[in-house]
């Protein structure tokens, strides 16, 4: 049950508008050409620009969703600093932290950087608003007229027009509606923070997805430094680009060339490790997949994943069992993607399967080998896109031999090739 604001019933009978004030239906030929061009503003981060499709579109509303602690506030503070140091006014609504806390963070993030000077002189344009009432925020924003606004977070806001608590579906939706309406009316580029839980189930950000222009998901392992930004929806750009960041003591830093960072720690000669050639948008990345296969003591052996879906593991172990002759039915299988990277591309299938087979046979894969290819239910290795680019990148990073659909037709033959004496 979701609480709603009761709106006035519009008295117009059908057709009144057309007869009284003229219809608002327009013919294509009558639409004015004089549209404002999509104005793109740089975010100060090449990675973020790329993910957004070439910078922020002015007046757009972006939902930044992620688990607590992933770095949403850090990234948006950096963004606010960048925009604010360019002499356009920025309003940062802080529902979660005190203004003093944020000041400390701003100082830490700008120490020794070029924005430090800009923020110290009079050109400073960074405004903070510790406020939880969305209607108050709208009023303040109307008075200040910022060009850029951050709302951290939507779960802390509420309106007096509803009785539900902040964070409830009704409040989250109504608050977002009011902020979006403000953004469009005053042409304020708005970034809204939305928390998601580990399961991604919380109603908050989910109900907002269709209302905002862009949904930007921020992910990453808590105990790893890598962070990934990916758009799940983007009205102004592609949705397959990934921004890679490193969380450092100086904030979120761009990782300009991420293709090699996830294979830096690969230990050669250890069974259970395989390197996959993946694509993230238009960029190739090499990722290490690790697997551990051990005799199970349980009636129902364990299947544990980190960075790949459980479904994927189950399908691939079934294929390995039936098509490649591995008896996995009584064994626990653990699969992990190094670096906290999340693999969604089917092109990783062959590497996942071979990491499992490598641990099963207790034989390491030759360190110069990288794998690419989708594995079908019949055990066939299927084609994936952009094989050439993947191979080129793998060779550049020292993987002399890439095994994919062009080299081998079935997973079984790959197993033979890699693990037969
Ligand atoms: P934060 O942006 O507060 O996360 P969120 O808003 O998504 O909940 O960042 C949380 C973590 O980031 C925190 O554990 C500390 C770390 N961090 C750094 O490593 N470097 C920094 O410069 C900052 C500001 C935070
Ligand atoms: Mg935060």
SS (H, E, C) 2-31: CCCCCCCCCCCCCCHHHHHCCCCCCCHHHC
Beta sheet of 61-66, edge-to-edge order: 126-129, 90-94, 148-152, 189-195, 61-66, 214-219, 226-234, 242-248, 251-254
Residue 368's pLDDT band, with cuts at 50, 70 and 90, is: very high
Is the model's pLDDT at 108 over the cut of 60? Answer: yes
Percent of the chain with pLDDT over 90: 63
Residue 367 has pLDDT above 80, yes or no: yes
Task: Confirm or reject: Cβ of 73 under 6 Å from ligand 1.
Answer: yes
pLDDT of residue 36: 62
Q: Do 372 and 387 touch, CB atoms closer than 8 A?
A: yes
Cβ contact 286:259 at 8 Å? yes
pLDDT at 9: 59
Instruction: Find the mean pLDDT for residues 321-347.
Output: 93
Confidence at residue 306, expressed as pLDDT on a 0 to 100 scale: 93
Q: What pLDDT does 35 receive?
A: 58
| Residue 68 Cβ contacting ligand 1 at under 6 Å | yes
pLDDT average, residue stretch 45-59: 92
* Predicted local distance difference test score (pLDDT) of residue 158: 93
pLDDT at 11 over 60: no
Closest CA to 109 of 83, 77, 87: 77
- pLDDT surpassing 80 at residue 118: no
Higher pLDDT, 120 or 6: 6
Rounded to 5 degrees, what angle do the CA atoms 214, 215, 219 make?
140
Which pLDDT score, from 0 to 100, does residue 21 have?
62
Q: How far is the CA of 375 from the centre of ligand 1 (A)?
A: 38
Question: What is the overall mean pLDDT for the chain?
Answer: 88
CB of 243 closer than 6 angstroms to any ligand 1 atom: no
Task: State which of 74, 156, 226 you would mutate to test the pocket of ligand 1, scoring each by most atoms of that ligand within 8 A of its C-beta.
Answer: 74
What domains, with CATH codes, occur in the chain? 27-256 (3.40.50.300), 260-419 (3.30.230.10)
Burial of residue 70, with CB atoms counted within 10 A of its CB: 0-12 exposed, 13-18 middle, 19 or more buried = buried
- The pTM score is 0.83
Q: How many CB atoms lie within 10 A of CB 283?
A: 16
Q: Closest Cα to atom 21, ligand 1: which residue?
A: 251
């Amino acid at each position: 049950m979701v609480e709603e604001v009761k709106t006035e019933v519009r008295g117009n009978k059908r057709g009144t508008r057309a007869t009284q004030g003229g219809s608002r239906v327009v013919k294509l030929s009558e639409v004015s050409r004089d549209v404002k061009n999509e104005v793109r503003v740089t975010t100060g981060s090449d990675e973020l620009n790329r993910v957004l499709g070439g910078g922020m579109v002015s007046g757009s509303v972006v939902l930044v969703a992620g688990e607590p602690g992933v770095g949403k506030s850090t990234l948006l503070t950096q963004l606010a600093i960048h925009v604010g140091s360019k002499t356009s006014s920025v309003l940062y609504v802080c529902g979660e932290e005190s203004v003093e806390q944020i000041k400390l963070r701003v100082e830490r993030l700008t120490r020794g950087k070029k924005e430090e000077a800009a923020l110290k002189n009079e050109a400073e344009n960074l405004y903070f608003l510790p406020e939880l009432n969305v209607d108050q925020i709208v009023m303040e924003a109307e008075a200040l007229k910022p060009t850029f606004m951050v709302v951290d977070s939507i779960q802390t806001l509420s309106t007096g027009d509803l009785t539900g608590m902040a964070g409830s579906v009704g409040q989250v939706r109504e608050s977002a509606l009011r902020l979006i309406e403000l953004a469009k009316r005053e042409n304020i580029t708005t970034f809204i923070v939305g928390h998601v839980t580990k399961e991604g189930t919380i109603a908050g950000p989910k109900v907002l997805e269709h209302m905002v222009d862009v949904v930007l998901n921020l992910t990453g392992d808590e105990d790893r430094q890598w962070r990934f930004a990916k758009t799940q929806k983007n009205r102004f750009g592609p949705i397959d680009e990934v921004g890679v960041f490193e969380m450092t003591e100086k904030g979120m830093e761009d990782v300009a060339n991420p293709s090699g960072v996830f294979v830096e720690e690969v230990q050669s000669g250890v069974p259970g490790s395989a390197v996959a050639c993946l694509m993230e948008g238009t960029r190739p990345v090499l990722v290490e997949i690790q697997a551990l296969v051990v005799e199970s003591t349980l009636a129902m052996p364990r299947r544990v994943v980190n960075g790949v879906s459980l479904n994927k593991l189950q399908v691939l172990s079934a294929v390995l069992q039936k098509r490649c002759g591995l008896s996995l039915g009584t064994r626990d299988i653990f699969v992990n993607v190094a670096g906290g990277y999340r693999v969604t591309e089917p092109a990783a299938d062959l590497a996942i399967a071979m990491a499992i087979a490598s641990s099963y046979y207790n034989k390491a894969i030759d360190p110069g080998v990288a794998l690419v290819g989708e594995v079908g239910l019949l055990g066939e290795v299927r084609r994936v896109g952009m094989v050439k680019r993947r191979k080129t990148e793998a060779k550049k990073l020292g993987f002399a031999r890439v095994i994919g659909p062009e080299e081998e037709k079935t997973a079984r033959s790959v197993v033979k090739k890699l693990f037969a004496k």
